[in-house]
Amino acid sequence: MKIGLISDTHGLLRPEALAALQGCAHIVHAGDIGNPQIIERLRELAPLTVVRGNNDEDAAWAAAIPSEAVLRIGGIGLYVVHELADVPEQLPAGIDVVVTGHSHKPAQQLRHGVLYLNPGSAGPRRFKLPIALALLHVDNGQVEAEMIELTV
């Protein structure tokens, strides 16, 4: 099973990102969406979980979007929040992967047996950071991350 991770679109959903997310069983957007049409377009590809980012806070359309999400897909538990600083010290039980955004820097790190992933920014380029997203490959409760730099 393939789970798509995207963040920090800031109102720009690139065709390269849509192509990379084709075939995903589920997509997770880790905030700073920037435009409700992005949610609609991603939902056309796969079931979608979305959290609100700091740049979505004042948008009326984003008021109903939660600031965090806990979900279970393919036998793995995911905790999603926009900013790494907002990840609680004590994660909910059964969390295997923490997904964050905000920094625009793709990153993955294993902490106490939990995979922390930031897919980077798939929206407008910030400084010289890559345009990126990530895929989680889940097989029999095992998870592997694939970081994807988009060629734009």
In CATH, what number is assigned to the domain containing residue 85? 3.60.21.10
Structural domain range at position 19: 2-149
Q: What is the pLDDT of residue 64?
A: 95
> What's the confidence (pLDDT) of residue 14?
96
pLDDT in tens, the chain (152 residues): 999 999 999 999 999 999 999 999 999 999 999 999 999 999 999 999 999 999 999 999 999 999 999 999 999 999 999 999 999 999 999 999 999 999 999 999 999 999 999 999 999 998 889 999 999 999 988 999 999 999 87
The whole-number pLDDT of residue 126 equals 87
* Residues 34/56, Cβ–Cβ less than 8 Å: yes
**In angstroms, rounded to a whole number, what is the distance separating the alpha carbons of residues 104 and 81?**
14
Rg (CA), the chain: 14
Number of domains in the chain: 1
Predicted TM-score (pTM) above 0.75: yes
Backbone dihedral angles phi then psi of residue 116, each to the nearest 5 degrees: -100, 125
Confirm if 27 and 3 have CB atoms less than 8 A apart.
yes
Q: With H, G, I as helix, E, B as strand and everything else as coil, classify residue 74.
A: coil
Q: Is 98 helix (H, G, I), strand (E, B) or coil?
A: strand
1 Cβ partners below 8 Å, 6+ apart? 25, 73, 74, 137, 138, 139
For the chain, what is the total number of helices (H) and then of strands (E)? Answer: 2, 10
